[in-house]
Amino acid sequence: MRFGVPKECAIQPNCDERRVGLSPAGCRDLVAMGAELYIESGAGAPAGFLDDAYRRVGAQVVYSREEVFGRSDMVVKIGRPTMDDLELMSPGSGIMAFLHLALAGDAYTAKLAERGVTAIGFEIIQEGDGTLPVLKISSEIAGKMAPQIAGRLLETGAGGMGILLGGAPGIPPADVVIMGAGVLGYHAARSFLGLGCSVYVLDISQIKLEAIDRAFEGRVVTAHATTENVEKFSAFAEVLVGAVLVAGEIAPIIVTREMVQRMRPGSVIIDFSFDQGGCVETTRMQGPAGGVFVREGVLHFAVPNCPSYVARTSTYALTYALLPFLKSMQEKGLKEALRTWADLRRGCYVYEGNAVSRHVTSSPADLKRLLGEG
């Protein structure tokens, strides 16, 4: 197969995407299997991967976006391609990215259908037990970054409360409330706890809350995410982390504007659900370019691509998560890889122009039938 890796575009003003679809190491493995790799010149530079690094592993560096999209059987990138990018794709070719089609709008899905392409979303590739293997690694990175972000925003110079996350002798640590006990919530809790914070995790799943309780041996307070509890815990939070995920869907609003109004001035909200719409009403309303803004006296962090802040680490991690799927495509072809691997098949939004996922239409086409399984 021919795989293409284009440059990434800014998701929103002052919010650049610095990751790249594949690291040189990942390209090397695919080239060794006989794949052709087309890398747009400069695509890896923001993550520290220069063109020569790709050339040394056998990838071809090309100098036009048209060539990457036009020559590739499968384009691998981070963010959703633009409408103009889709115009460059050949019928029957494919795109893999964090597509989040629930937020893209009907016109975007219609363009995918018009071009006759196959669209696979990293965020909905799913194993039989519900694990999201590609999204998982980005969630883990974001969770581990949460204290870095919170600590910076809480500083006096940033407009925060001027408190230290871990406190000091005789001075209590910050109260950190995490909405969501999934992968991101778990790693955020572990990271904040390691700094000595008082950590509280809310979720609707008793099973996830029990897992958090076991993992941290009762050192993290857990509670059901009822409206009453969300109101109660958000009111005293000095850091509130939104880590709510409904795979492939727009995130539900958990924290309302009225709840934000009850928070103390200079406290911090980090809405990691923002790439799926946001789980806090005041981030759902958007804000100034760059993703950091003040609303209702509270500092908000609403950046849709937080792992891009550590672009090199994130690119390596994403590449390793993707390689098994890309190798399967190289070995079998895209159609056969989809037909034989249910995890990959669950990640398919559109197949050759046909909407095959409930995340984009109420009446999806039968992907198994399209693949020749009956």
Residue written as token pair 């509670």: 223
CA gyration radius for the chain? Answer: 21
Q: With 0-12 CB in 10 A as exposed, 13-18 as middle and 19+ as buried, what is 213?
A: middle
| Residue 73 annotated as catalytic | no
Indicate the helix (H) or strand (E) that contains 215. helix 206-215
Spatial neighbors of 269 by CB under 8 A, at least 6 apart, are 239, 240, 242, 255, 260, 263, 280, 282, 283, 298, 299, 300, 301
DSSP for 288-333, written as a single string: STTSEEEETTEEEE--TTGGGGGHHHHHHHHHHHHHHHHHHHHHH-
Q: Give the active site residue among 73, 85, 175, 275.
A: 275
| Residue 16 annotated as catalytic | no
Q: State how beta strands 60-62 and 36-40 pair.
A: parallel
- What backbone phi and psi angles, to 5 degrees, belong to 300? -115, 135
Contact 109, 355 (CB under 8 A): yes
Dig out the tokens for 218 from the structure: 């009762």
CA distance linking residue 273 with residue 250, whole number of Å: 9
Q: Give the active site residue among 51, 73, 100, 359.
A: 100
Return the active site residues.
Answer: 100, 275
